Structure 1
């Protein structure tokens, strides 16, 4: 489970481990014992956050006009495809 420093507490780490996941939370600078932390995984979290930020620029998704979950998922998929294709557009 990838989270930011705001969720860096022993009780939250224990809860995540009880549910069968491995916490990857950056330790705070004032913490004496520094638990395991993967910087590579944490950088990948940033990519996911950026994707959701771009996805929210589509008004229909941000305001959730669609009543049915199936229709909403279809719009998320279309917006995701459009974002993915935007990366392959020709600049010339």
Structure 2
């Protein structure tokens, strides 16, 4: 699939797997954003049946997080 590991390997590992630090920082930032969004129950459980309603709530949650 062309996936590339961006998580750094354990320091005690004999053969250290190289990783891209910039990609790791970007991945970490996105994961933290999703974890903040999951605090909203409506987002975590996907109550909305229509994609446009879910997308609208997604924008609302993103704006609320950004304004904090």
| TM-score calculated relative to the size of structure 1 | 0.57
Secondary structure in 1 matching 2:28: helix
| Structure 1 residue aligned with 2:5 | 23
Cα RMSD for the two superposed structures: 2.0
Larger radius of gyration between Structure 1 and Structure 2? 1
Alignment gaps of 5+ in structure 2: none
- 1:35-57 deviation digits (Å, cap 9, x = unpaired): 21123332332221221121112
Report the count of equivalent residues: 68
Q: Unaligned 5+ residue runs, structure 1?
A: 1-18, 88-92
Query: Which runs of structure 1 show a deviation greater than 3 angstroms over 4 or more consecutive aligned residues?
Result: none
* TM-score (normalizing by structure 2): 0.72
Q: Take 2:31 and 2:7, find their aligned partners in 1: how far apart are those partners?
A: 15
